[in-house]
Each structure stands twice: as C-alpha cells, then as structure tokens.
Chains A and B, each alone.
Chain A
Amino acid sequence: MQSFWFGDISEGHCTPFTGDAAACARRVREIRASRDAFLLPDWQQAVACGFCHDRAEYLSLLQKVCIAGSEQAVRDQYAAKDVELLQMVRTLDEMDTVINVLSERVADWYQIRHPSFSRKYRRTPAHVLVKSISERNRERGGGGALGKVAAEITSLAYARTALAKEVSSRACEVMPNTSALIGGLVAARLLSQSGGLKELSRLPASAIQVLGARTALFMHIRTHAPSPKHGIIFQHRRVHNAPRDARGKVARVLAGKLAIAARLDFYRGCAVPSFLDDAQARIDRVGAPEEDGQP
C-alpha cells in the first residue's frame, strides 16, 4: 500500500481521505514513507481517486493541509515548557546590561550638572545615584530630561526584579532537579546558554562546567592559556565562596551532578529526592579534610 496525503492506493484501488485539513495534516505526520525510494503523489491520481476535480482544487486543498500542519507544528514547538523560559532569561540578562549601561551614563551626566560632586568616598554605585536622582525628581519635579531618564531606569529596575522572580520560579517548575542544586536563576542561565532543556541534557559534565566561559575556553585551546575552571556555575555560592584552590574541584563535582540533574529534568520532569540528597551531600563533601588524598 502506498500512502499519500489525499488517500491510500493499494493494488490500483484508491481510498480517498475524508476529513478536514487539520485531520489530514495529522495523517500526513503519521505516514511513514520508506527512507530510500519514495513514490511521490500525483494530482491526476488524486482526481482519479475522486478526491478533487482538477489541479486548481488539488493545490488549494493541499495548501490548506500544509498551512494547518505547519501551524500545528509551530504551536507544538512553542508549547514545550522550556521555550518561554529561554526568552525570559535572555530578556532578563539583556535588561541587566541595559540598566547598567544607562545608569553609568546618567551618573556621568549628573556629575557634569554638579561640578563639585564626586562619587569618591561616598559608596554610591551608579544605580543608587540614579535612584536618588529619580526620587528627587519626583519630590521636587522639574528635573528635566535627566530626572525623567533616571525615573525610567528605576522603573526598569523594578520590572527586572519582578522578571527575575518569575524566571526563578519558572525554572523550578521546568527543571526541578537542576534548580534544586544551583538555584532557579543560574539553572535558567545554563538553559539559555545551551539553547534548551534537550540540548542541556545532552551535554557532558565537562561542557556544563565551562558553559558561559567561551572566550577563556577558546583562548585555552588556541594559545596555552590555563583552562577555565568554571563558567556560569561560578555564580553559585558553592563555587564562588569556595577557597580559591578548591574552586575547580567544586565546579567539577557540581557540574557532574548537574549533568545528571539535567537528564532527570528532561526525561522524568519531576524532582528526584533520593538523587538530590546524595548529590548535595557529595558536593558538600568536596574540599572537606577527609576527601584529601582521594582521586
């Protein structure tokens, strides 16, 4: 039997498909053509089959099926849990960049307005300065463009905080095991760097360890620079709080557990307490005295 989108042909007899475009598109997805030699549909066959009257009708029906099928395929792709999280975390990271750049610019601008002002000895990072400018602007008014820009940056910073919370909680939903090990935000960043949960779950631990340290990694491969010990996972307190000489070790063990966690997230999709307890204990043990001397 040979199956085409418009019907099945077996031994010279043709059964036309009856149903709407969406049903037909689903049927096309299920047809398994052989990989090597495939027979292609012919509009005259479809006419002989009684599926349509002429070529124009054949094409217009075919287009309906193609559009319905592709629309459904796009919807299916976007329905995957990690797709929106990917956009959210990338937006978050870009907002950070924008807020920082704008804050520095506004701080520079403010210093020109106030020639006697200096940030030295005052512990005023740019974002604090921006906040005070925008508050002053709200109280007294008349701050002009500078005050308005500062106010915009402040509200952008609020939006950023809200988004960060949402990213974190969504990550706990999409990748429960990975988030339990390194926190929602960092887990989401790993996801964004690797391009998706499926892609992350297929990475070896050594790649997860240096994910986000691309420049250092290629510098290491090209020249004889030392290899990077950690990428994004440095943002986790266990890595950056570890003593300098143990950081590489912690990063390696953590990455190993993360690789397993990502696979659990992708294939099981729920938290696995027995694994998490073991993994936490193993990571906590790194650098402890009893570990010294072990390979």
Chain B
Amino acid sequence: MIRRGDVLVSKGEGGVYGERILEGYRVWDPYRSKLAALYLVGAGVELVPAMKVLYLGAANGTTVSHVADYVEVVYAVEFAPRPMQDLLEVARRRRNVMPIMADASSPEQYAPLVETVDLLYQDVAQPDQAAIALRNCAFIRTGGHLVLMLKTRSVDIRKQPGEVFRDTLDILISAGLTVTESTWLAPYHQDHAAIVCTR
C-alpha cells in the first residue's frame, strides 16, 4: 500500500468525491472508507496491480475508486439504483471498474460476468452477511482472500456487537475458511469489524 508519511493514499485521477490530494496522490480517508481503516488498524490484504477484485456493496463508488487505483479490475456489485447512478459515473471515468446492478445474495445473477478473483471484498448492510460471503466464495481462487466488513448492528440490533463478531467467525471457520486476521475498526468506525480469510 502507498503511504505518504502516516497518510494512506492511492494513485489515480482525483476529484471523485472531493478527496484531498497530497503530493499528487489521492488521500484515502479512514473515516469514510472501512477498507482504509483496516489498513491503518491492522494489516489487511496488500493490493497489487495484477489483482482482480469482486466488490460487494459498492455503494457510491468511493472506496471502489481507491481500490481501482491499485488493482487490475474491480467488479463492483450494488443493488440500489440511487448509489448506482454515482457508481456508473465512476465507471465511465475508470476503465477497470465493472458496475453490476444485482443482489449480492444471489450471485447467480452476475456469475456469467465475473471471472475468478483474487480478493472478495464485502461491505453490505444485511442481517445474513456471513451467508452472503459464503455464497460468493465460489468466485475466490484457491489461496485467494475474503475481506468481510462486518456491520454488527445490521446483523442483529439486540445482540452485543462482540457476540455477533464471534458468531460470524464461527460460521466462517466452520465453512472451511482460514481466518488470518480479525479486528475492530475503532476509532474510525463504531461497531464495525473486519475479518480477513483465506480460501
């Protein structure tokens, strides 16, 4: 990952969402992007130029644009039409962003489009986040990675975040994934955890 001093940055065309430019690099704000927070809090998965990424829950394409600066191609799946309008604008200006309007919980909708990827990144506000991740594991090459941004409050508002975190880890491990890192994203994001797995 590229850093300028302590600041995480990426190299690409700026002005996507009014981000700051530092020495010609786009500043990647950890308070806005959970992936940036993961790189500051923990290790994460190093993004390299040859990588193919499947991104579930692409939203407005803010984080997508930074990931696209690092890797070869990003398949960006988003369900809602409003953010999709913004994501399309990002895709029109970046050759390696593939916008796909589909439901991440039914991967068969986009299976004819998406190739085998090195990294599956998931950031969706759904109660069955672990199940969605497992359903999409078929896209990850053997030895590839899953980065799951767990929104504990979306899983069950009545449960303690720690409990949801442990339950999710259990589901992923019993599905045969190797968890290499799991961390909370405090102080950048409340009640959000990141889980990194290897397939």
Chain A contact residues, CB within 8 Å of chain B: 3-5, 28, 31-35, 37-38, 40-43, 59-60, 62-63, 65-67, 69-71, 73-74, 77-78
* Docked-complex contact B113 and A59, CB < 8 angstroms: no
**B15 contacts the other chain (Cβ, under 8 Å)?**
no
Classify the interface of chain A: helix, strand, loop or mixed.
Answer: helix
Contact (A41, B115) CB under 8 Å given A66-B91, A70-B99, A73-B101? yes
Q: Looking at the assembled complex, report how far the CB atom of A214 sits from the nearest CB atom of chain B, in whole angstroms.
A: 15
Residues of B within 8 A of A63 (CB): 91, 95-98
Q: Looking at the assembled complex, report how far the CB atom of A21 sits from the nearest CB atom of chain B, in whole angstroms.
A: 12
Residues of A within 8 A of B100 (CB): 66, 69-70
Minimum CB distance partner of A63 in chain B: B98
* Docked-complex contact A66 and B99, CB < 8 angstroms: yes
| CA gap between A34 and B116 in the complex, in Å | 17
| CA gap between A43 and B73 in the complex, in Å | 13
Contact (A28, B113) CB under 8 Å given A38-B107, A38-B138, A70-B101? yes
Residues of B within 8 A of A4 (CB): 112
* Docked-complex contact B88 and A71, CB < 8 angstroms: yes
* Docked-complex contact A59 and B107, CB < 8 angstroms: no
Residues of B within 8 A of A66 (CB): 91, 98-100, 113
With A67-B92, A74-B88 known, 18 other A-B pairs at CB within 8 A are A5-B112, A28-B112, A28-B113, A34-B108, A38-B138, A40-B114, A40-B115, A42-B115, A66-B99, A66-B100, A66-B113, A67-B88, A67-B99, A69-B101, A70-B100, A70-B101, A73-B84, A74-B84
Residues of B in contact with A, size category? 20 to 34
Offer 27 A-B interface pairs, CB within 8 angstroms, sorted by A: A3-B112, A28-B113, A31-B112, A32-B108, A33-B111, A33-B112, A35-B106, A35-B108, A38-B111, A38-B138, A40-B139, A42-B116, A59-B96, A63-B98, A65-B113, A66-B98, A67-B88, A67-B91, A67-B92, A69-B100, A69-B101, A70-B99, A70-B101, A74-B84, A74-B88, A74-B101, A78-B81
Minimum CB distance partner of A77 in chain B: B81
**B85 contacts the other chain (Cβ, under 8 Å)?**
yes
Q: Looking at the assembled complex, report how far the CB atom of A270 sits from the nearest CB atom of chain B, in whole angstroms.
A: 26
Minimum CB distance partner of B75 in chain A: A66
Chain B contact residues, CB within 8 Å of chain A: 73, 81, 84-85, 87-88, 91-92, 95-101, 106-108, 111-116, 138-139
| CA gap between A34 and B135 in the complex, in Å | 12
Minimum CB distance partner of A65 in chain B: B113
Q: Looking at the assembled complex, report how far the CB atom of A72 sits from the nearest CB atom of chain B, in whole angstroms.
A: 9
Minimum CB distance partner of B100 in chain A: A66
| CA gap between A43 and B116 in the complex, in Å | 10
| CA gap between A57 and B126 in the complex, in Å | 36
Q: Looking at the assembled complex, report how far the CB atom of B119 sits from the nearest CB atom of chain A, in whole angstroms.
A: 15
Residues of A within 8 A of B73 (CB): 59
Residues of B within 8 A of A77 (CB): 81
| CA gap between A35 and B107 in the complex, in Å | 8
Q: Looking at the assembled complex, report how far the CB atom of B57 sits from the nearest CB atom of chain A, in whole angstroms.
A: 15
Residues of B within 8 A of A67 (CB): 88, 91-92, 99
Residues of B within 8 A of A69 (CB): 100-101
| CA gap between A32 and B108 in the complex, in Å | 7
| CA gap between A63 and B100 in the complex, in Å | 10
Minimum CB distance partner of A72 in chain B: B101
Q: Looking at the assembled complex, report how far the CB atom of B118 sits from the nearest CB atom of chain A, in whole angstroms.
A: 13
Residues of B within 8 A of A71 (CB): 88
| CA gap between A74 and B91 in the complex, in Å | 15
Q: Looking at the assembled complex, report how far the CB atom of B4 sits from the nearest CB atom of chain A, in whole angstroms.
A: 29
| CA gap between A43 and B97 in the complex, in Å | 16
Minimum CB distance partner of A34 in chain B: B108
Minimum CB distance partner of A37 in chain B: B138
